[in-house]
């Protein structure tokens, strides 16, 4: 668990929720977190996070491998 001191949070002039989102976007943009990981860190739904990235002009870099993974997940969900 990461703990960020109140002093650091206050120095950003962001509330905790805004800081979480900023960290998630930055780590996604740098390629450190996947879309799904960043979305979870930001505590946002898929399309909400996608729209945030679109509005900020952050490329999503959706690859053919991502499509295959998504299709596999959908197939698993259908089988339930």
35 in a structural domain: yes
Q: Which two tokens stand for residue 1?
A: 């668990």
pLDDT value of residue 14: 95
pLDDT for 12 equals 95
Question: Per the domain annotation, does 45 fall within a domain?
Answer: yes
What pLDDT does 62 receive? 73
Provide the domain count of the chain. Answer: 1
**Local confidence band at 56 (pLDDT 50, 70, 90 cut-offs):** very high
Read off the pLDDT of residues 10-50 as tens digits, 9 standing for 90 and up: 999 999 999 999 999 999 999 999 999 999 999 999 999 99
Q: Is residue 51 part of a domain?
A: yes
In a domain, 1, yes or no: no
The verdict on residue 68 lying in a domain is yes
Number of helical H runs and strand E runs in the chain:
5, 0
Query: Could you list the residue range(s) of the whole structural domain that residue 11 is in?
Result: 6-79
pLDDT at 61 over 80: no
Distance in angstroms (rounded) separating the CA atoms of residues 10 and 16: 9
């Amino acid at each position: 668990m990461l703990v960020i001191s109140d002093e650091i949070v206050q120095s950003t002039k962001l509330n905790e929720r805004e800081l979480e989102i900023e960290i998630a976007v930055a780590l996604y943009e740098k390629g450190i977190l996947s879309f799904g990981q960043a979305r979870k860190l930001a505590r946002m739904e898929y399309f909400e996070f996608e729209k945030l990235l679109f509005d900020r002009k952050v490329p999503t870099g959706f690859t053919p491998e991502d499509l295959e993974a998504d299709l596999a997940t959908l197939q698993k969900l259908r089988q339930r």
